[in-house]
Structures are given as C-alpha cells and as structure tokens.
Amino acid sequence: MRFHLDSDQTAIQDVVHGAVSSVLTRDKLHVFIDGNDDFEPDSWQAVCELEMAGLMLPEDQGGSGLGLVEAALVIESIGKAGAPGPFIGQLLTAIALSETDNDTARSAWLKRVASGEAVATFAFGGDWLPTGWTVSVEDGKASGEVRFVPSASAAKVFLTGTEGGGLALVEASNAVSVTPLKSTDRSRPASTVSFEEATAHELFPPGDDGVQRIFDAALVLLAADALGGAQYCLDLSVEYAKERKQFGQPIGRFQALKHQLSTMALNVEPARALVWYAAHAWDMKQEDAPRSAALAKAHLCDRFVEVARDAIAAHGGIGYTWEYGLNIWFRRSVFDRVVLGSPAVHRARAADLAGW
C-alpha cells in the first residue's frame, strides 16, 4: 500500500513549480495580467521542456507512462504558481490523441502536442457537460461557436466538444476565428471561438466511453488546479501573518486570526487526498472514477473559492489591492468553479451516478 507521495512524485511538483516560478516572476505575471495576451510563452516553454505535456502517454508513444495522479501534481503546481497555460488543455489533448482510434489524427498531432510544439486548448462550451456540446462535425469539417476557450489565439489545435457528446480535434486556420472575451481570470483569458467548416478530426464519436473518460480527467485536473491555488492562498496568508505586526506583535499571534488560518488549512489539506483518490481511481479505471471526479471537482472548487476569500480577509487592506496579487488567485477560483460545470451541477451528477 502506498497512498502518499513518493520522492519521484514530490520531485515532479518541485521541478514544475521551480521551473515556472523561475521564469514567471511576480513582475512578469503582473505584466501578463495587465496586458491583452492570452498566452505566456516563457512559462509555457519551461513546462513543456520538462516533457510534462506527454507525461501520461505510454512510453512507446514517447511519453513517460505516468498517470493522472502525476498529471494532477503538475497542474497543482501550475495552479499554485498562477501560470497561464493552457496546460490542462494540452494534457487532455495529449491523452485524447493517445486514446483515440483515429490514427490519422494521432500521427499528425500527437508528437507535436506532447512535445509542446503545438499549443492545444479545450473548447467544450455549451453547458460544459458532454450532453450540452454543440459544435457539429461533418465530413471532417467543424462548424459552431464555443465560448470561454483559454489561450485560444495561441492554439494550433482545439480539443472540441461536438454535438451529442463527441470529441474532435479542430485545427487552427482561417476557418477559425477567435474573439477575446474580457475575462475575470486575467491569468487565463478566454475567447469565443467560431469554427466555419474548419478542418476537424473526429477522435471519439458521440456517446463513446472515451469521451466521458477525457471529461473526467478534465474534472480531476481542474480540481488539482484549485488545490494548488488554495494552497498558495493559505501559504501566503500564513507567511503574512508571521510578518505583519499590529498592537506590537505579529498578527498571527491573535487567536481569532490563527483560527481563521486553521480553518483555511482545514479546507486545503484534507482535500488533497480526495484529488489523489479521484486521479488514482481514474488511472485504475475503477467503477467509481466518474463519481469521484465529479465530487472532487465540486469539493475542491468550493474550497478554493472559500480559501481565496478568507485569504483576502486575513490580509486586510493589502489583500484588497490589485498590486498585491491575491486577486489573481481569487479570480482563478472564479474560473475553476464554473469551468466544466459548477459544484451544484457535479453534485447533482454524483447523486444520479449513485442511483439515488
């Protein structure tokens, strides 16, 4: 039995966090969020150079043969660093290309996506759930509009949700137009993407089991991002409470604040094992994997929102500023909560899946 991180797994976290934070300095992150780009190449490059995008691919496909547990650790580090990405989209696209029966799509794109040469994002849209996806694909041409696509302007391919709940890989071209949205989450700005007969490879037909698997993986990765973000909010608040003095002493000495910080920790640390479990259940293709993914997504995203709010309260005035930067993570918590479906949606699904 082994249900805590081993040294290889902690190394993944450390390496990714180290690589991202060395290139994505605080100043640079602020420049990015104040700008109009939806893609930050340096942190992107740093992560892809670590061969993280292909880490879940089997070794004969050039990957590291690792699982969603490790992918979740990568995304957790990304969430902690507040890095733009689109890392979740990249990982998901690599998994989808690895698991599809469509050899043409795989040989054309898998290597490029796994190496990070081609940026890949996800374009699900609709009401987020596969049953609500709307893009139509006919004879290799995709048409339709998808809202809230992160890093859309940099993407070479879009992992796209299709009508009836299928997945297609749509290539960027003149037939794809990207209209930036004014996004709450400045670290992951999203766009509306329109496909007009854009070149598309069908990866999984509507209703295929593979679709639910990719979607479940997406839920777990989003939960992992929330975990990393929440951890960061906690760490920053604890650090601040030790330094900031009022009434002649560090504010962390005051019991009321100490208890607020303990509550934040109680929101973060136990949830970590839930993310691990959901990822592990997915890796083992367990029957409870979809339900665990849904509950993990719901739970973690609620926790992140709560901890991000508490972090700002714990800081006082400085926490409410643009400059200090906590709002970057607060805004990420807004993104994580709704993208792929809100906690209430996934709890309702979990109740259905239990057969209640």
Partner 1 sequence: MDLSYGDAAEAFRKDVRTFLKANWMPQSVEKADMKAYIAAFRKQATEAGYLYRAIPKAWGGSEQAPDVIKAQVIREEFGRARAPMEVPGNGMNMLVPTLLERGTDEQKALFIPKTMSGDYIWGQGYSEPGTGSDLASVRTRAELVGDKWIINGQKIWTSQGGKATHMFALVRTESDAGKHDGISYLLIDLDQPGVSRKPIRQMTGESGFYEFFFDDAETPASWIVGERGQGWNVSRTTLKHERASIGSAAMLGNQFQKLVELAGEMTRNGQSAIKDPEVRQALTRIEGWVMAHRYSSYRIMSSAIHDEEAGIISMMMKLLLTEIGHDIALAAQDLIDDEGLIEPEPAGTRGRGPEKWLDQIMGSLGNSIAGGTTNIQRNIIGERGLDLPRDLAMERGQ
Torsion, Cα 103 105 111 117, to 10 degrees, reads 180
Options 95-103, 111-119, 290-298, 328-336: segment touching partner 1 (CB under 8 A): 290-298
Site map for partner 1, 219-238, x if CB under 8 A?
Answer: -------------------x
Per-residue contact flags (x/-) with partner 1 for residues 50 to 79, judged by CB under 8 A: -------------------x----------
DSSP symbols for 49-92: HTT-TTTTS-GGGTS----HHHHHHHHHHHHHHT----HHHHHH
Near partner 1 by CB under 8 A, which window of 54-62, 88-96, 295-303, 326-334? 295-303
Among the residue ranges 46-54, 104-112, 189-197, 278-286, the one whose residues contact partner 1 (CB under 8 A): 278-286
Residue 313 binds to partner 1 (criterion: CB under 8 A)? no
How far is 118 from 98, CA to CA, in rounded Å?
15
How many positions of this chain bind partner 1 (CB under 8 A)? Answer: 46
- Residue 249 contacts partner 1 per CB under 8 A: yes
The angle, 0 to 180 degrees and rounded to 10, between the axes of the packed helices 343-353 and 289-315 is 150
Tell me the C-alpha to C-alpha distance, in Å, between residue 250 and each of 41, 245, 323: 40, 4, 23
308 in Cβ contact with 267 (< 8 Å):
no
Give the sign of the dihedral formed by CA 191, CA 155, CA 122, CA 193: positive
Helix (H) or strand (E) holding 250, with range, is strand 249-250
Q: Contact with partner 1 (CB under 8 A): which of 265, 306, 309, 334?
A: 265
Per DSSP, the three-state class of 201 is: strand
Considering the rule CB under 8 A, would residue 293 count as an interface residue with partner 1?
no
- Choosing from 53, 172, 222, 295, the residue that interacts with partner 1 (CB under 8 A) is 295
**What per-residue string of b and e applies to 299-312 under the rule 16 or more CB within 10 Å gives b?**
bbbbbbbbbbebbb
- The one segment of 20-28, 124-132, 297-305, 334-342 that binds partner 1 by CB under 8 A: 297-305
Beta carbon nearer to partner 1, 17 or 349: 349
When the beta carbons of 28 and 259 are compared against partner 1, the nearer one is 259
Catalogue the long-range contacts made by 28-32 (C-beta closer than 8 Å, 24 or more residues apart): 29/82, 29/83, 29/187, 29/325, 29/328, 30/323, 30/325, 32/84, 32/186, 32/187
CB of 114 to partner 1, least distance (A): 23
CB nearer to partner 1: pick between 96 and 296: 296
Structure token pair of residue 161: 């949700």
Does the protein bind partner 1 through residue 244 (CB under 8 A)? Answer: no
Q: What is residue 246's three-state secondary structure?
A: strand
- Count of positions (residues) in the chain: 356
- The span of 32-40, 74-82, 126-134, 245-253 binding partner 1 (CB under 8 A) equals 245-253
The nearest distance, CB 56 to partner 1, in angstroms, is 14
Angstrom distance (rounded) from CA 194 to CA 218: 22
From residue 334 to residue 353, the character string flagging contacts with partner 1 as x (rule: CB under 8 A) and all else as - is ---------xx--xx-xx--
Place of tokens 């796209």: 160
Q: Which residues bind partner 1 (CB under 8 A)?
A: 1-4, 69, 238, 241-242, 249-250, 252-255, 258-259, 261-263, 265-266, 269-274, 276-277, 279-280, 283, 292, 295-296, 298-299, 302, 343-344, 347-348, 350-351, 354, 356
